[in-house]
A = this chain, B = another copy of it.
Amino acid sequence: MSNSKNPESLTDRSDAMISRRRFLSGTATGAAGVAVLHKTVADITIDPTKQQGAPPAALGERSPFEKPARKVISNILSTTPLQDLHGTITPADLHFERHHGGIPLIDPDKYKLIIHGMVERPLKFSLDELKRFPAITRSCFIECSGNTGEYFRADRKNTPQTLRGLTSQSEWTGVKLSTLFREAGISSRASWFLAEGNDAAVMTRSIPVEKAWDDALVAYAQNGEPLRPAQGYPVRLLLPGWEGNTSIKWLRRLELGEQPFMTREETSKYSEPLPDGRIRQFSFEMEANSVITSPAYPEKIEPGWLEVRGLAWSGSGKIVKVEVSTDAGQNWSVAELQEPVLAKSHTRFRYLWNWQGKPAVIMSRAVDQTGYIQPTHEALRDERGLGAPYHLNSIVGWEVRADGLVYFDVKSWA
């Protein structure tokens, strides 16, 4: 039934194509310490059908050919390699990091969460007690409000990771904060609560009680397993769709009150001066945003059909539309969204593009269920003045040169 067992007779489609690996390898940050799986890369010349492979193990490892890595920006920041990811989940060890006092090491058997203030019954919960309450699992992104912010430079050699890498997506499990508040019997006059972390910064934020009745979680698991230390082990607050710093990690205390507690995080940081001199404060919700993850710097593309791929997300709910422009925002076409589209979650979009080999600027813009449309950089500047490095969700572009090389479009950020 087959006459094509001789590989020489097959049509080989690879010679004329660019190797993405070859281009990306130059930028790999080299995750030191990724162990080789039982064999060395030097063994690779052996036909795998001619020798027994490696046995099962208690924990699997990555292929030695794959070295994904967060980019450590400073001693408080590392970014997710969005260009190396597929689908929507961020592997836990690649979730972006933003610490205010480093990652504490906490003994889960000594862990306590205190709820006090304007409550009938001040309570203290152990981790086991929290796990006994009815559990909730949901997927959502966490995005640092400083994404494309203070650390960002509008350089043409930006990658998706250096551009928008302060957002990551996980499946989280925990107990509803409303369940714990009911257990403590919070006062009907309580309208704000303080959330406090057990880290060297004693990170604290004031949160409206409404968020607890809406969708706040006290989370102890991420992508099926206990939280990683960098994401708040053993317990964090999770405020879906809100700026990442409010989802207090290493959560140790919740205090109910009648007004915001005015911590340093809501005065010296995490508020935005507006053009008219006022200050935008408690700007919790992350606005709709998107990024094209491929093609992007440092890729090189060839003329013909290719899939423009990226991620869109909104703190206000579901993404309802993503549009892609291949002419720097003059015309827009609707991209396909990957089902299931979940609220406050990274949503994968794809758009088939027939690149003709001419210079082009490709852009994406997200629309969420409230009708909000991701703004241009100019519109964002007019509205907000850009006096603080937060909530900078404007449309960005990638410049495709005639030779197929792709660079960050610096003009889109001007």
| A residues lining the B interface (CB < 8 Å) | 1-2, 4-5, 7, 9-14, 17-21, 29-34, 37-39, 41, 43-44, 48-66, 68-78, 84-95, 97, 99, 101-110, 114, 116-119, 121-126, 128-129, 131-137, 171-173, 198-200, 202, 220-221, 223-231, 233-234, 250, 255-258, 306-307, 309, 338, 340, 342, 348, 350, 352
> What is the chain B residue whose CB lies nearest that of A20?
B128
Are A56 and B44 in contact, CB atoms less than 8 angstroms apart?
A: no
Complex: A9 Cα to B114 Cα, angstroms: 11
The interface residues of chain B lying within 8 Å CB-to-CB of A97 are 56, 60
Complex: A174 Cα to B230 Cα, angstroms: 30
Are A12 and B101 in contact, CB atoms less than 8 angstroms apart?
A: no
**Distance in Å: Cβ of A107 to nearest Cβ of chain B:** 5
Are A228 and B61 in contact, CB atoms less than 8 angstroms apart?
A: yes
- Identical chains bound together, number: 2
**Distance in Å: Cβ of A69 to nearest Cβ of chain B:** 4
A21-B108, A129-B17 given as contacts; is B87 within 8 A of A171 (CB)? yes
Complex: A72 Cα to B173 Cα, angstroms: 27
Complex: A132 Cα to B17 Cα, angstroms: 10
Q: Could you show 19 A-B contacts with beta carbons less than 8 Å apart?
A: A1-B256, A10-B122, A11-B124, A12-B124, A14-B124, A21-B128, A48-B106, A53-B200, A55-B102, A59-B69, A60-B70, A63-B105, A63-B106, A64-B105, A65-B107, A86-B221, A94-B225, A132-B306, A135-B309
The interface residues of chain B lying within 8 Å CB-to-CB of A2 are 116-118, 255-257
Complex: A12 Cα to B202 Cα, angstroms: 23
**Distance in Å: Cβ of A191 to nearest Cβ of chain B:** 11
A contacts with B: majority SS: loop
The interface residues of chain B lying within 8 Å CB-to-CB of A17 are 126, 128-129, 132
A12-B124, A89-B224 given as contacts; is B56 within 8 A of A77 (CB)? yes
**Distance in Å: Cβ of A270 to nearest Cβ of chain B:** 20
Contact of A49 among B9, B50, B199 (CB under 8 A): B199
The interface residues of chain B lying within 8 Å CB-to-CB of A199 are 48-49, 53
Output the residue of A21, A172, A231 with the most chain B CB within 10 A. Answer: A21
> What is the chain B residue whose CB lies nearest that of A55?
B75
